[in-house]
């Protein structure tokens, strides 16, 4: 079940991203992709950067962020 479609009022969470996990700093139902701005339900979050402390909606957004960080884009 996608929490954004569950009838609960969605709220943006704040997370601290670790190597294989994250810590909830401010509880919420979603985070925003740093590249696309899309809302990512917490239970669907799979991609993030520990160095940049950013979440990504998918692998393509993650790759775009990496390319920007090395000046390729």
**Euclidean distance between CA atoms 10 and 29, whole angstroms:** 6
Mean pLDDT per 10-residue segment, the chain (73 residues): 63 98 98 98 98 98 97 92
Report the pLDDT value the prediction gives residue 73, as an integer from 0 to 100. 86
pTM value? 0.86
Report the pLDDT value the prediction gives residue 6, as an integer from 0 to 100. 56
**Euclidean distance between CA atoms 48 and 44, whole angstroms:** 12
Partnered with residue 7 across adjacent β-strands are none
Identify the residue whose tokens are 């799979």. Answer: 46
Report the pLDDT value the prediction gives residue 25, as an integer from 0 to 100. 98
Counting Cα atoms < 13 Å in the Cβ hemisphere of 17 gives 14
**Euclidean distance between CA atoms 73 and 19, whole angstroms:** 25
| For the chain, domain boundaries | 3-69
Report the pLDDT value the prediction gives residue 2, as an integer from 0 to 100. 58
Report the pLDDT value the prediction gives residue 5, as an integer from 0 to 100. 57
């Amino acid at each position: 079940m996608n929490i954004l479609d569950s009838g609960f009022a969605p709220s943006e969470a704040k997370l601290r991203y670790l190597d294989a996990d994250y810590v909830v700093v401010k509880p919420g139902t979603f985070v925003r992709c740093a590249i696309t701005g899309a809302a990512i339900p917490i239970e669907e979050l799979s991609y993030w950067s520990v160095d940049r402390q950013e979440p990504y909606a998918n692998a393509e957004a993650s790759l775009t962020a990496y390319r920007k960080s090395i000046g390729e884009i």
